[in-house]
Structure 1
Amino acid sequence: MSGQQSHVFEEWWLASLGRTIVWARLRVREAGTAEVFDSDGATLVYDSEDTARAMLLDAEFVAFDGLDEEDALERGFSLAELAPPGTGSDEALRPRMVQLLGGRA
């Protein structure tokens, strides 16, 4: 479903547990609804971008674009170590939605 509909906005979010990064992709659709593709490969649909953001924040995710190096270091990693999983089909993205980092930042 998500690969066939156009979106007007896409943003990557992450949560961290030690040196493990869990990614989520937020997409806002033309109709104003939002979808979050999660690390389990599920696409969760929300009535609005605000609702999707609130759910991500409740799950302790942060917007990748909103992180600076100091924030990243407080979470135990450097921004230089990270890049969102990229583009492609949801099926191709799923194995890249959890990232294990190397040694301590």
Structure 2
Amino acid sequence: MTLLIQMAWRNIWRSPWRSGVVVGAMALGVWAGVFMMGLAQGVNDARTAAALDDFVGHAQITDSNFTANQDVQALLAQPAQWTAALDAHPEVESWSERLVLMA
């Protein structure tokens, strides 16, 4: 076994230029893989944040009947109480009333 390792070590350094190119290519490949994984994670996080901010929001307050079957007649009881609570809450930056219709 040690003879095999010695022969392999000598073969590696028999052509240092070739060995350097191979090591450099492997390092570049590993770096590119890590970079692309980080880039993909960042893009995914940005898309998730944009979707939450632009389309859905971080929370929805709906009647339980609306959640079950998307019935537009299922309105919140006492909507003024909900709007006052949202206006008074310091962590709520903004809110809007929405109506979902099936066209």
Per the normalisation by structure 1, the TM-score is 0.24
Larger radius of gyration between Structure 1 and Structure 2: 2
Indicate the structure whose relative CO is greater, using CA pairs within 8 Å and at least 6 residues apart.
Answer: 1
Q: Which has the higher helix share?
A: 2
Per the normalisation by structure 2, the TM-score is 0.24
